[in-house]
């Protein structure tokens, strides 16, 4: 079955207050957010043959992440153009907390296709290497997995990121099947759906009952109805709601040099 694809290609420049908003929830053109070194938004004005910059009336320091989060409410993900440092600056302003996926590792990770021998134990690369990953949520082994995962690609990649959003109703077996999270001395039992959020990673979750096995088959089957996100333009950013969307990297066997940056967050509950 062909994978429907989209990309954030086609930057259209910064949106100024009052201008129409271009959708970036997956199918429209991507937008660019810009800021000067101090994070203040500027826009170029052409007058009398010259160009000058003028501050935009409303500060948009947190605009990129806020808008991506807001747009992700429809499909569970949203895309645009932006830099990782801008994502981090916006997150700080929004009082989001960066979450390292691996204990002791920095919150920002560069994801590269790895052979199993070079990969961290219990990681997807340890099992799947550079091949296609199974659908998963990030940080499923953590007591409190991240709410939001942001991926950026400074260059381009021919390996898509695959996305699958949960339907409005979650099957009973997903809600009740019991898994053991295998995380060394911090192992614990859980379900793949708890308190309104999905948690699933076949790399670290062992099915313990018939309903959990059914859940594994359900998410394997979901891999046939994913949307592929293509990294066609340098500087694309993809925000994934890790509470309701599973994602995966397609096979990167052909692209061992691929590099994606990832940073994950707990959102500020009061604001989000
Ligand atoms: O590289 C990608 O497109 C996603 C990778 C990923 O989801 C992961 O390594 O957890
Ligand atoms: Fe992931």
Q: Does some domain include residue 131?
A: yes
- The CA distance from 251 to 59, in Å, is 41
Question: Which residues lie with the beta carbon below 6 Å from any ligand 1 atom?
Answer: 111, 124, 138, 161, 247, 249, 260
Domain count of the chain? Answer: 1
What is the Å distance from ligand 1's center to 192 Cα? 19
- Give me the domain span that covers residue 186: 62-266
The CATH number linked to 159 is: 3.60.130.10
Q: Does some domain include residue 105?
A: yes
pLDDT in tens, 224-268: 999 999 999 999 999 999 999 999 999 999 999 999 999 999 998
Q: Does some domain include residue 108?
A: yes
Q: Does some domain include residue 48?
A: no
Q: Does some domain include residue 91?
A: yes
What is the Å distance from ligand 1's center to 149 Cα? 10
What is the Å distance from ligand 2's center to 46 Cα? 44
Contacts 24+ apart (CB under 8 A), 18-25: 21/67, 23/71, 24/67, 24/68, 24/71, 24/78, 24/79, 24/80, 25/71, 25/72, 25/74, 25/75, 25/77, 25/78, 25/79
pLDDT in tens, 112-150: 999 999 998 878 999 999 999 999 999 999 999 999 999
Comparison of pLDDT for 266 and 1, the residue scoring more: 266
Report the SS3 class of residue 192: coil
Nearest-atom number in ligand 1 for the CA of 161 is 3
The pTM of the full predicted model, rounded to 2 decimals, is 0.83
Cβ atoms 237, 151 nearer than 8 A: yes
| Per-residue tokens: 98 | 């960066």
Q: Does some domain include residue 164?
A: yes
- The CA distance from 13 to 17, in Å, is 13
């Amino acid at each position: 079955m062909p994978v429907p694809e989209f990309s954030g290609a086609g930057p259209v420049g910064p949106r100024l207050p009052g201008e129409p908003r271009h959708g970036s929830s997956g199918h429209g053109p991507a937008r660019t957010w810009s800021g000067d070194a101090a994070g203040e938004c500027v826009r170029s004005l052409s007058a009398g043959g010259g160009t000058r910059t003028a501050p935009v009336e409303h500060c948009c320091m947190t605009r990129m992440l806020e808008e991506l989060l807001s747009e992700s409410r429809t499909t569970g993900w949203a895309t645009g153009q932006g830099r990782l440092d801008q994502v981090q600056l916006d997150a700080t302003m929004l009082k989001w907390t960066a979450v390292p996926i691996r204990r002791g590792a920095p919150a920002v990770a560069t994801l590269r296709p790895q052979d199993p021998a070079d990969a961290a134990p219990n990681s997807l690369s340890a099992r799947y290497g550079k091949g296609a990953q199974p659908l998963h949520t990030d940080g499923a082994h953590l007591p409190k997995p991240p709410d939001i995962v942001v991926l950026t690609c400074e260059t381009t990649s021919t390996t898509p990121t695959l996305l699958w959003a949960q339907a409005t109703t979650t099957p009973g077996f997903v809600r009740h099947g019991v898994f053991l999270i295998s995380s060394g001395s911090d192992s614990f039992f859980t379900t793949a759906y708890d308190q309104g959020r999905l948690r699933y990673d076949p790399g670290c979750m062992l099915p313990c009952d018939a309903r959990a096995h059914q859940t594994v088959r359900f998410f394997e089957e979901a891999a046939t109805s994913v949307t592929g996100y293509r990294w066609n333009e340098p500087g694309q950013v993809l925000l994934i709601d890790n509470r309701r969307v599973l994602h995966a990297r397609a096979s990167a066997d052909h692209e061992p040099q691929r590099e994606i940056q990832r940073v994950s967050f707990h959102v500020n509950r009061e604001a989000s």
